[in-house]
Amino acid sequence: MSNQELTVLGQDSDAACCQALAAAPLGEEEAADLAKVFKALGDPVRLRLLSMIASRDGGEVCVCELTPAFDLSQPTISHHLKLLRQAGLVDCERRGTWVYYWVLPAALDRLGSFLRLPQPQGVTA
């Protein structure tokens, strides 16, 4: 996992999880960081790729297994995966000829926390 990915998501070992969208206005830097993530998720192919990787038994998937699900070339799929990596949503490792991808759970947790509306006092979920 690269430091660039952690920076994109605005997380480091000293940072607490982000606050919910409705809890307080975003600062300029946090808004810019989150916009990069949402931009990566704004493409249907990338959203499907993330879903396919996240739902995979064992937690990782080879690019060779992702490509047949799309009517796109392997280089195009690799480009989309690169953008997901740059947004800090997935990471990968080369093993011989193939590259294996997995979701970074902290990134998804952060997005979920950001989008979750705070519960009014006295209301239980």
- Walk along the chain (125 residues) in steps of 10 and give the mean pLDDT of each run: 41 46 78 91 96 92 94 95 96 95 92 76 62
Looking at residue 79, what is its pLDDT? 96
* Domains along the chain with CATH numbers: 27-115 (1.10.10.10)
Looking at residue 90, what is its pLDDT? 97
Looking at residue 52, what is its pLDDT? 96
What are 18's two structure tokens?
A: 């982000």
Q: What is the pTM of this model?
A: 0.75
